[in-house]
Amino acid sequence: AWKKYAPKPFTSTEEFEKAAVSHIETTLARSLYNCDEFAAYAGTSLAFRDRLVIDWNATQQNQTFADQKRVYYLSLEFLMGRALDNAMLNVQQKEVATKGLADLGFRIEDVISQEHDAALGNGGLGRLAACFLDSLASLNYPAWGYGLRYRYGIFKQEIIDGYQMEVPDYWLDFNPWEFPRHDVTVDIQFYGHVNKWQDEDGKQQTSWEGGEIVEAVAYDVPVPGYATGTTNNLRLWGSKAASGEFDFQKFNRGEYESSVADQQRAETISAVLYPNDNLERGKELRLKQQYFWCAASLYDIVRRFKKTKRAWKDFPNQVAIQLNDTHPTLAIPELMRILIDLEGLEWDEAWQITQSTFGYTNHTVLPEALEKWSVPLMQHLLPRHLQIIFDINLIFLQFVERSFPKEREMLGRVSIIEESNPKMVRMAYLALIGSHKVNGVAELHSDLIKTTIFKDFVKIYGPDKFTNVTNGITPRRWLHQANPRLSELIASKLGGFDFLKDLTMLHKLESFVDDKEFRKEFAEIKYANKVRLAKYIKDTNGVTVDPKALFDIQVKRIHEYKRQQLNIFGVIKRYLDIKAMSADERKKLAPRVNIFGGKAAPGYWMAKTVIHLICEVGRIVNADPDVGDLLKVIFLEDYNVSKAEIIVPASDISEHISTAGTEASGTSNMKFVLNGGLIIGTCDGANIEITREVGENNIFLFGNLAEDVDELRHAHLYGTYELEPSLSHVFDAIRSGMFGDAGAFSALVNGIVDHGDYYLVSDDFASYCKTHEMIDEAYRNQEEWITKCITSVARMGFFSSDRCIDEYAESIWNVEPLAPKQNG
């Protein structure tokens, strides 16, 4: 049915050309005679933007008129990547643009690559938010994203002499995809004090007064659904000094410099994305960002609700707010403040409304990632919110005390306030208590939160408050856009592109697994994608790699729990083995290219050491004539979304090798398999469900299980534990200076040898290496390999973010899709 709602297309190549050229000449004021690739990008984007705006306005009108429940997805990160290619594909008009641009003398790939990535995120959590927006629009859900408009996204990574350097990512020079709404602003208050008094009726009143005001300005980004008229809105808040107040006064008093300084201080709030992934640092500016964005978003949501003139009790029937991790948890006390202090509701009614409105998604169990804010800091910055949090906690603890009178020790454990010095607010507990549903992001992860960090809360609220929604990825970007040839091939077998909206249709590919022609084309496409990546590697790293070699890829944030160190130690072992072989033995080996990519948080010294080791191993191995094409080691600089679109379709094997129980889900694992690659992985996160879907024969699992991790860690610290001998060999090589200054890597090695090997590298090393030998063996039999790949692709339907969003809609939000009005 969605076909009949497909938006109005450019009716001809000429029409597109005319629109693009007109923008180049008038909007950009550039002559066609010096039209470069950048101008072509700008003209093409503006031409498509005009199209999107029509659908966007129609969608907003339609949703307002329909007056049904909306979803608000609050996320401090949206890792969108580039917009143009996605927009052209989602409105199904890329061919027109390809032809039109060719007429004008451009290759569309070159034009697309002019666009700067919108990199407003660190990794998995931010990219998940972006996939969700694509699915929400594609499935016609009335939904808004709310985030921050950082002037600097995640830093750009440069590798200089084998070390990571960070360069600021200023991305807003030319951004045709955002619409500043200078008329949509919200005043946000910080600091100040709380006043309490009794009004004439004897009713207790509370207000928050004084302090300072910063203005939030809305910037709207259209989010087009695939093959539908629905174009949703992503609203990003930018900060600026509140207009007309002290700045003008100061100006008039001749304090020009200090008024500019105030302005800069206000703009600092939305200046930069914090580059830590899974590490909480408790910085005041970060708390300011969180409140600024929560308060602006809630004001906006409440304003929209109030226009409907409904009673407050209807709020949860009109509004579902999803908290993407604990970063937006302040939205809970903020809604309570609005309802009680500003709207005059009683506590119980306000609390009932609040709890029914929010849902909370947990994305990590790593203790160092759990957000805690010091009570003194909150008292200073948000005095009224701290009071509300104390009240929420008091009422909650009284309830726990009544329900479990014999378990007094539980009170300290579940209190929102940690009795440390200074006291800390545990944001995960606040998010859980203030929401009606809590979900993890893969089955194992959702089980683990119930038995570890939230164990007591399962007892308190019962198991029904907790649910699982396994993550997904959008097949539009991660198949159709990143791998157009594979998408075409699949469409040719399934009778069109409907599978992009119902990914379970992929299962029909299984009947083509023995089809000779299909297999040949499938293999050719993988090869062509590897050729493209090989060319990219040559251009960026200057290293020649053989596209016939097995491409083994690990791209993700660099983190000890993700165990890039395990991978590079395995590579070193392979290198040592090759060095020890005779020429005859070497001839029997399957050539490999080991590709790494990912950013280390700027202050994460150990992660930076891992990058350095990878680069140094590459430097030695790639120049060793004994090795030749048998082994190449590549570190790709500045891994991001647009680079992932080149890298992901080119893998034979990708690595998802976290210590069991640490990777909540992983989503790149899904991307790689959907693109016809196999994976080596631990029994962790979504790897487990991928195994269930594709079958044990089509995945290379290794390593210890989550349930054994505690005991193994204990054995490292106290038991009769011995370092894996083959890993000892690797360490000897590193210590010998084979890969440059051994001292540079001593902390990395000692962490495993002397300091407890927290991530169990040694425990999993032998099984990891053995599994890689099985991979070599399997790859030798190309026919069987291709069968595994095709079978896996056919079984990946479950991992569409469309399935995931439907599950959220059904089990958490209780919202229905809204069909777009037909254009015309």
Active-site residue list: 363, 556-557, 562, 667, 671
Question: Mask 416-445, x = binds ligand 26W (CB under 6 A)?
Answer: -------------------------x----
What b-and-e string marks burial along 685-713, b requiring 16 or more CB atoms within 10 Å of the CB? Answer: bbbbbbbebbeeebbbbbbbebeebeebb
> Tokens at residue 187, please?
């005043």
* CB 658, min distance to ligand 26W, A: 8
Q: How far is the CB of 317 from ligand 26W (least distance, A)?
A: 28
Would you give the binding string for ligand 26W spanning residues 471-510, x where CB under 6 A is met?
A: x---------------------------------------
Q: Nearest approach, Cβ of 693 to ligand 26W (angstroms)?
A: 17
Stretch of residues binding ligand 26W (CB under 6 A), selected from 3-11, 207-215, 665-673, 815-823 = 665-673
Q: Which is nearer to ligand 26W, 703 or 820 (CB)?
A: 703
Residue 389 near residue 425 (C-beta atoms within 8 A): yes
The H or E element containing residue 251 is helix 246-252
Residue 325 binding ligand 26W, by CB under 6 A: yes
Under rule CB under 6 A, how many of the chain's residues touch ligand 26W? 23
Q: Which amino acid is at 381?
A: L
* Binding residue for ligand 26W, selected from 117, 169, 277, 724, defined by CB under 6 A: 277
Is residue 665 a contact residue for ligand 26W (CB under 6 A)? yes
For position 664 contacting ligand 26W by CB under 6 A, the verdict is: yes
Binding segment for ligand 26W (CB under 6 A), chosen from 175-183, 258-266, 597-605, 657-665, is 657-665
Half-sphere exposure of 416 (CA within 13 A, CB side): 26
Report the residue number whose CB is nearest to ligand 26W.
124
Nearest to 123 by CA among 273, 3, 291, 340: 273
217 DSSP β-pair partners: 185, 238
How far, in Å, are 29, 150, 666, 687 from residue 669 at the CA level?
45, 28, 6, 7
Q: Could you give the CA distance from residue 438 to residue 469 in angstroms, rounded to a whole number? A: 10
Radius of gyration of the chain (CA): 27
The nearer residue to ligand 26W, 324 or 762, going by C-beta atoms, is 324
Helix axes 383-403, 347-357, angle to 10 degrees: 90
- Taking a C-beta distance cutoff of 8 angstroms, is the pair 401, 310 a contact? no
The single residue among 276, 354, 640, 654 that binds ligand 26W, judged by CB under 6 A, is 276
Binding of ligand 26W by 280 (CB under 6 A): yes
Q: Does 135 bind ligand 26W (CB under 6 A)?
A: no
Structure tokens at 325: 């991790």
Cα distance between residue 415 and residue 78, in whole Å: 31
Q: Which run of H or E residues covers position 89? A: helix 84-90
Contact 698, 792 (CB under 8 A): yes
Asked if 90 is part of the footprint of ligand 26W (rule: CB under 6 A), the reply reads: no
Query: Of the two residues 418 and 577, which places its CB atom closer to ligand 26W in the complex?
Result: 418
The amino acid that residue 420 corresponds to is: S
Segment near ligand 26W (CB under 6 A); pick from 27-35, 54-62, 83-91, 270-278: 270-278
Cβ proximity to ligand 26W: between 364 and 642 the closer is 364
By C-beta, is 435 or 762 nearer to ligand 26W?
Answer: 435
Contact 228, 5 (CB under 8 A): yes
Q: How far is the CB of 280 from ligand 26W (least distance, A)?
A: 4
- The amino acid occupying position 388 is I
| Candidate segments 14-22, 216-224, 271-279, 603-611, binder of ligand 26W by CB under 6 A | 271-279
Residues of this chain, 371-400, that bind ligand 26W according to CB under 6 A: 371
User: How far apart are CB 368 and ligand 26W at their closest, in Å?
Assistant: 9
- The DSSP letter of residue 453 is T
Pick from 6, 279, 528, 581 the residue near ligand 26W by CB under 6 A.
279
Q: Smallest distance from the beta carbon of 702 to ligand 26W, in angstroms?
A: 19
Q: Which residues lie below 8 Å from residue 671, measured CB to CB, with a gap of 6+?
A: 473, 478, 482, 644, 648
666 binds ligand 26W (CB under 6 A): yes
Q: Output 124 or 475, the one with its CB closest to ligand 26W.
A: 124
Long-range contacts of 207-211 (CB under 8 A, 24+ apart): 207/341, 208/337, 208/341, 208/383, 208/384
CA distance 546 to 550: 9
> Which of the stretches 63-71, 272-280, 386-394, 461-469 binds ligand 26W when contact is defined by CB under 6 A?
272-280
663 touches ligand 26W (CB under 6 A)? yes
Output 331 or 778, the one with its CB closest to ligand 26W.
331
Contact flag: residue 681 with ligand 26W (CB under 6 A): no
The neighbour count for residue 657, using CB atoms within 10 Å, is: 26
In one-letter notation, the amino acid at residue 303 is R
Q: Which is nearer to ligand 26W, 70 or 671 (CB)?
A: 671
Stretch that binds ligand 26W, among 34-42, 108-116, 196-204, 362-370 (CB under 6 A): 362-370
Q: Which position among 44, 289, 322, 364 is part of the footprint of ligand 26W (CB under 6 A)?
A: 364
Partners of 74 in the β-ladder: 146, 323
From 118, 296, 317, 312, select the one nearest 223 (Cα to Cα): 118
Burial class (CB in 10 A: 0-12, 13-18, 19+), 505: middle
Strand partners, 655: 680
Task: Compute the distance between CA of residue 468 and CA of residue 456 in angstroms, rounded to an integer.
Answer: 18
- Identify which range of 84-92, 209-217, 255-263, 364-372 contacts ligand 26W by CB under 6 A: 364-372
Q: In whole angstroms, how close is the CB of 665 to ligand 26W at the nearest point?
A: 4
Q: Which of 523, 373, 400, 532 is nearest to 457 (CA)?
A: 400
Nearer to ligand 26W, 89 or 321 (CB): 321
Minimum CB distance to ligand 26W smaller for 265 or for 283 = 283
Task: In whole angstroms, give the CA distance from residue 631 to residue 624.
Answer: 10
* Interface stretch with ligand 26W, choices 402-410, 616-624, 660-668, 761-769 (CB under 6 A): 660-668
Cα 423-426-431 angle, rounded to 5 deg: 150
Verify binding: residue 648, ligand 26W, rule CB under 6 A. Answer: no
Residues in the chain: 824
- For residue 270, state whether it binds ligand 26W (rule: CB under 6 A): no
CB of 686 to ligand 26W, least distance (A): 7
The yes or no reply on residue 363 touching ligand 26W (CB under 6 A) is yes
Q: Which residues in the 113-132 window bind ligand 26W by CB under 6 A?
A: 122-125, 128
- At 153, list the tokens: 């996204």
Residue 218: enclosing H or E segment and its boundaries? strand 212-224
- Find the shortest distance in angstroms from Cβ 223 to ligand 26W: 19
> Cβ contacts of residue 16 below 8 Å, gap of 6+?
10, 47, 93, 96, 97, 100
689 binds ligand 26W (CB under 6 A): no
CB of 78 vs ligand 26W, minimal distance in Å: 12
Whole-number Å distance between alpha carbons of 620 and 635: 13
Q: CB 373 → ligand 26W: shortest distance, Å?
A: 11
- The residue (of 451 and 736) whose beta carbon lies closer to ligand 26W is 451
Q: Is 764 near ligand 26W (CB under 6 A)?
A: no
Shortest separation between residue 689's beta carbon and ligand 26W, angstroms:
12
Residue 278 touches ligand 26W, criterion: CB under 6 A: yes
The least CB distance from residue 553 to ligand 26W, in Å, is 17
Note the maximum CA span of the chain: 97
Residue 82 vs 562, nearer CB to ligand 26W? 562
The two three-digit tokens of residue 434, written as one number: 């203030």
Q: 678-681 and 700-701: which strand pairing?
A: parallel
Interface positions with ligand 26W (CB under 6 A)? 122-125, 128, 276-280, 325, 363-364, 369, 371, 441, 471, 663-667, 685
